[in-house]
Amino acid sequence: MNPYSNDKGKSSLRNVFIDAKIQKNCIYSFEYFNFEYLIVFMTIQEITKIVEEIAPLSYAEDFDNVGLLVGNPNQKVTGVLVTLDTLEEVVDEAINKNCNLIISFHPIIFSGLKKLTGRNYVEKVVIKAIQHNIAIYATHTALDNSIIGVNAKICEVLGLNNPKILIPKTHTIQKLTTYIPIKDAEKLRLALFDAGAGSIGNYDQCSFNMDGFGTYRAHKNANPTIGEKEILHQENETCITVIFEKHLEQSILKALFKNHPYEEVAYEIITLNNKNQNIGLGMIGELSNTLNEAEFLKFVKKSMNTKCVRHSKLLQNKIKKVAVLGGSGSFAIEEAINAGADAFITSDLKYHEFYKAENKILLVDIGHYESEQFTKNLLVDYLTKKIPNFAIILSETNTNSIYYI
Ligand SMILES: [Zn+2]
C-alpha cells in the first residue's frame, strides 16, 4: 500500500504519525499495522535545497524576488503543490490537498509589502497562506537561467535538437588559486573536484598547477603545521588554480579548508568576466525537419497548447533554427537574430517590438502563461524523481490571467 496515492491525489501524510529522527533526505521503510510504508520526513529547507540544485538562487536576476517568501524553513512538509502562480485558489487547493508548501514559478511578493491588510490579491494570498501555515517558495529567474530549466523544457516540448543557452551569463564563474605543500596537493585537488570545481564544458577535473616555494614566519602565538615559530620558513608548494560556478563557493571553500594542512590558508577567489555556457536566459536549437513558416506556426500552436499565436511579417523563409525564451522576451530579439535563429518564440511582445524582426527573423508571441506552462511539470517530474515517495502534486488550478474568445 502506498499511502501517498489515493484517488483524489491528496497527500495522506497526515494519516501517518511516526516519531522519527529527521535526517537529510532520509527514507524510512518498515512494517506498520501490517502495511509497508515508505515514510519521508523532510523540512521545507531540505526540499527547497533540492530545487536549488537545478535552480540556485544566485542564478536569479537582480530585480527578482526568489526563494522562500512565506514560512518557516524548518517546518516539516506534509506535501508540495507546484504551480506557476500563487493565487488564492492555489492556496485553497493546497489546503484541500494537505500540502503546506507551495512551490511557485512566479513570486507572489515581487516589489515588497509595506502593509498586510488584504486590500489586494497579493496581500490576500499571503494572509491566507500564513493563516493556514502554508509556505510559499518561488524559483522564477533562477529557473529561467538554468540549463535544465524553463527554456530547456520548451525545447523538449518542441523537440529542438542541440539546445544551447541563448544569452550566456557573465560573472558566474569564479577562479580559486591556493598554495599547498607539494605532498598535499593531490588530495586537495581531488577534494576540490569532488566539490564541483574544475568543470569546463565537456571536461571535468580541470586545473592548472605550478610548483614553486612559499615563505612564511610564524608569530609566537601561531601553531604552524610545518616550520618553527619566529623562524623564516621556506616550503616547496604547488600553486593550484581551478574554476567553479559561483553558487558552489561555500562547498569549494569547505573542501579547501578541510584538506589544507596549514593553520592559515592562503587563497584568492576572483570572479571572471567569461561567459558561462551553462547558465543564462533563452535557448536555441534546431528542428529535426525544416518547416515553412505556416507549418511552423501551426506546429508551435499545437505543441505549446496555445489558442492564439501572434507573429511578425512572414518572410517566406524556411524555419530550422529556433530560439526560445519563456516569459517576456522582447529584450532578446537582437540576440536571437545574432545567433542565426530563423524564428524566436517568446511572449509579451508590444506593437513596436514586432518591427524589430527587421525582415531577418520570424517573431512568435505565444502568450506568457503558455510559454511557461510546462515549467510546473518540469518541477514535479524533477522532484518526484529526487524524492519518489514524497507527495509532489501538480496544481490543477489554471492561473492564466488572459482569456481569448
Ligand atoms: Zn513569467
> What's the 245 CA to ligand 1 centre distance in angstroms?
25
- CA 118 to centroid of ligand 1, rounded, Å: 24
Cα 35 to middle of ligand 1, angstroms: 43
Q: Which fold has domain 1-140+374-405?
A: 3.40.1390
Cα(400) to centroid(ligand 1), Å = 11
Task: Show me where the domains of the chain are located.
Answer: 1-140+374-405, 150-168+280-371, 171-274
The per-residue pLDDT string of the chain (405 residues; one tens digit each, 9 = 90 and over) reads 333 433 333 444 433 333 333 333 344 443 343 344 455 589 999 999 999 999 999 999 999 999 999 999 999 999 999 999 999 999 999 999 999 999 999 999 999 899 999 999 999 999 999 999 999 999 999 999 999 999 999 999 999 999 999 999 999 999 999 999 999 999 999 999 999 999 998 899 999 999 999 999 999 999 999 999 999 999 999 999 999 999 999 999 999 999 999 999 999 999 999 999 999 999 999 999 999 999 999 999 999 999 999 999 999 999 999 999 999 999 999 999 999 999 999 999 999 999 999 999 999 999 999 999 999 999 999 999 999 988 999 999 999 999 998
Joined grid coordinates for residue 120: 489586494
Q: Nearest CA to 391 among 1, 70, 44, 10?
A: 10
pLDDT computed for residue 27 by the predictor: 43
Q: What is the pLDDT of residue 153?
A: 97
| Spacing, Cα 106 to ligand 1 middle (Å) | 6
Q: What is the pTM of this model?
A: 0.83
**CA 327 / ligand 1 centre spacing (Å):** 4
C-alpha torsion 334→338→343→345, nearest 10: -50
The per-residue pLDDT for 33 is: 38
Neighbouring residues of 338: CB distance < 8 A, sequence distance ≥ 6: none
CA of 328 to the centre of ligand 1 (A): 7
Report the separation in Å between the CA atom of 331 and the middle of ligand 1, taken as the mean of its atom positions.
14
- Residue 220 CA, ligand 1 centroid: distance in Å: 59
> What percent of the residues of the chain are helix, what percent strand, and what percent coil, each to the nearest 5?
30, 30, 40
Ligand 1: centre distance to CA 324 (Å) = 13
Cα 119 to ligand 1 centroid, rounded to whole Å: 24
| Centroid of chain to Cα 260 | 31
How far does the centroid of ligand 1 lie from the alpha carbon of residue 196, in Å? Answer: 30
- 199 C-alpha to center of ligand 1: Å? 30
Rounded CA-CA distance 130/150 in Å is: 28
The domain 150-168+280-371 belongs to what CATH superfamily?
NIF3 (NGG1p interacting factor 3)-like (3.40.1390.30)
**C-alpha gyration radius of the chain:** 26
| C-beta separation of 30 from 41 below 8 A | no
Does 150-168+280-371 match 1-140+374-405 at the fold level? yes
Alpha-carbon span 3 to 377, nearest angstrom: 22
171-274: what CATH class?
alpha beta
Cα→Cα distances 369→33, 84, 114, 384, Å: 46, 8, 28, 23
φ and ψ of 78, to 5 deg: -95, -25
- Whole-number Å distance, alpha carbon 404 to ligand 1 midpoint, is 19
pLDDT for residue 39: 53
Distance 160 CA to ligand 1 centre (A): 21
CA gap 379, 150 in Å, rounded? 10
Q: How far apart are CA 97 and CA 105, in angstroms?
A: 19
Quote the Cα angle for 250-252-254, to 5°: 70
The CA 372 to ligand 1 mean position distance, Å, reads 6
Centre of ligand 1 to C-alpha 150, Å, is 10
